[in-house]
């Protein structure tokens, strides 16, 4: 149980509702910021504006998966008001206050560092990333079906990257009967791709490897699908870029050449917000519970 804890949930999408539900079930007291248009009411959770919250009593701050913009703006699906998080707010919090976000950027990292507050990036955790790869892959399949006029079965699929999402994506498309190539740099990844019964290639050889690709799925958060690489793709190729914004594709050149390229970060929150929210809620409550236990032990 999280009785006695005061938590501020700032902005977010439908995934946050599962987090709110789980935290209130565990008896935490919540301040919901950026939720005034939310019809549903949660016992133990109060809708407030950010300047109405007494942050000196807040034990944890939960941000959306995207964290903040580079200007400090927090995405608020359930509000028309603009909500900003700044260092002055963090300075008001107790020294033990922890900030949770899916990812971070220079702004969020800087203000938490200057305020000397702990920042936990949930999407850097293996458990979150692996669980999230499930709805991500389902969303990728949905997009592949919607934007092509051929079956996945028998298609030439190129997956870039064998990280947690790349592995799940490659394995699933192979199971659907596609001919899967996977690009990687690490020799261990090349070996794993071979062991999985797929065709590996080194990313240095990407221009040759993509020549017959029907669907190219990128999971690498760096520019890998350059103009030079895209020029080697068949015109009918569909690019689905799963990397975080701005993705790893030269979208300008893809449009110029007539290759359909879709940037699709955050698919779990789009195709399966309930499941994606439950994944985050379970990990968050575990982490918050562990922190609470540690503080109690230190005080005893």
Residues 69 and 134 in one domain: no
| Residue 252 buriedness (CB in 10 A; 0-12 / 13-18 / 19+) | exposed
* 249 DSSP 8-state letter: B
Is it the case that residue 160 has pLDDT exceeding 80?
yes
Q: Cα(243)–Cα(235) distance, rounded to whole angstroms? A: 22
Buried b / exposed e over 122-149, threshold 16 CB at 10 Å, is bbeeeebbebbbbbbbbbbbebbeeebe
Residues 261 and 277 in one domain: no
Residues 214 and 188 in one domain: yes
Residue at 81 is within a domain: yes
- The counts of H helices and E strands in the chain are 11, 14
Residues 85 and 153 in one domain: no
Residues 145 and 225 in one domain: yes
Residues 106 and 189 in one domain: no
4: alpha, beta or left, given left = phi > 0 and alpha = psi -120 to 50? left
Is it the case that residue 299 has pLDDT exceeding 80?
no
Q: Cα(168)–Cα(162) distance, rounded to whole angstroms? A: 9
pLDDT tens column, 194-216: 999 999 999 999 999 999 999 99
Is it the case that residue 110 has pLDDT exceeding 80?
yes
pLDDT tens column, 142-158: 999 999 999 999 999 99
Residues 131 and 261 in one domain: yes
* Confidence band for 170, pLDDT divided at 50, 70 and 90: very high
- What pLDDT is stored for residue 248 in this prediction? 96
Residue at 1 is within a domain: no
Residue at 171 is within a domain: yes
Residue by residue, DSSP assigns 116-185 as T-EEEEGGGSHHHHHHHHHHHHHHHHHHHHHT-SS-STT-EEEEE--SHHHHHHHHHHHHTT-EEEEEES
**What range defines the domain where residue 45 resides?**
6-124+273-299
Residues 215 and 287 in one domain: no
Q: Cα(78)–Cα(86) distance, rounded to whole angstroms? A: 21
Residue at 12 is within a domain: yes
CA angle 18, 20, 25 (to 5 degrees): 95
299 vs 87, more confident: 87
Residue at 292 is within a domain: yes
Residue for token digits 């669907």? 215
Residues 183 and 69 in one domain: no
Residue 224 vs residues 25, 160, 183, 241, 251: alpha-carbon distances, Å: 44, 9, 11, 11, 11
Residues 120 and 234 in one domain: no
DSSP, collapsed to helix, strand or coil, labels residue 193 as helix
- What pLDDT is stored for residue 17 in this prediction? 94
Please tell me the total count of domains within the chain.
2
CATH number of the domain where residue 160 is located: 3.40.50.720
Q: Cα(155)–Cα(177) distance, rounded to whole angstroms? A: 8
Residues 257 and 278 in one domain: no
Residue 128 vs residues 44, 55, 84, 216, 300: alpha-carbon distances, Å: 27, 28, 26, 24, 32
Going by their DSSP bridges, the two strands 179-184 and 45-48 should be labelled as unpaired
Buried b / exposed e over 219-235, threshold 16 CB at 10 Å, is bbbeebbeeebbeebee
- What pLDDT is stored for residue 298 in this prediction? 78
pLDDT tens column, 68-88: 999 999 999 999 999 999 999
Residues 184 and 223 in one domain: yes
* Confidence band for 63, pLDDT divided at 50, 70 and 90: very high
What pairs with residue 300 in β-bridges? none
Residue at 209 is within a domain: yes
Residue at 59 is within a domain: yes
């Amino acid at each position: 149980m999280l009785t006695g804890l005061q938590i501020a949930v700032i902005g977010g999408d439908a995934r946050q509702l599962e987090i709110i539900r789980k935290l209130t079930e565990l008896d935490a007291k919540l301040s919901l910021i950026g939720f005034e248009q939310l019809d549903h009411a949660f016992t133990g959770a109060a809708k407030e504006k950010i300047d109405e919250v007494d942050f000196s009593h807040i034990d944890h701050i939960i941000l959306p998966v995207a964290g903040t913009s580079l200007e400090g703006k927090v995405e608020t699906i359930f509000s028309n008001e603009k909500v900003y998080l700044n260092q002055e707010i963090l300075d008001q919090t107790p020294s033990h206050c922890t900030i949770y976000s899916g990812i971070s950027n220079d702004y969020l990292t800087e203000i938490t560092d200057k305020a000397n507050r702990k920042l936990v990036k949930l999407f850097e955790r293996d458990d979150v990333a692996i669980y999230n790869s499930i709805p991500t892959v389902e969303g990728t399949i949905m997009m592949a079906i919607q934007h092509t006029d051929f079956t996945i079965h028998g298609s030439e699929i190129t997956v870039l990257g064998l990280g947690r999402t790349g592995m799940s994506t490659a394995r699933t498309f192979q199971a659907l009967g596609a001919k899967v190539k996977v690009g990687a740099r690490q020799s261990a990844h090349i070996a794993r791709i071979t062991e999985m019964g797929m065709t590996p290639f080194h990313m240095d050889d990407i221009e040759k490897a993509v020549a017959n690709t029907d669907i190219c799925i990128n999971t690498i958060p760096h520019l890998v699908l350059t103009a030079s690489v895209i020029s080697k793709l068949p015109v009918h190729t569909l690019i689905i870029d799963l990397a975080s914004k701005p993705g790893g594709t030269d979208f300008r050149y893809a449009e110029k050449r007539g290759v359909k390229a879709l940037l699709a970060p955050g698919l779990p929150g789009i195709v399966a917000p309930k499941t994606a929210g439950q994944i985050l809620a379970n990990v968050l409550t575990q982490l918050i519970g562990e922190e609470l236990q540690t503080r109690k032990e230190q005080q005893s």
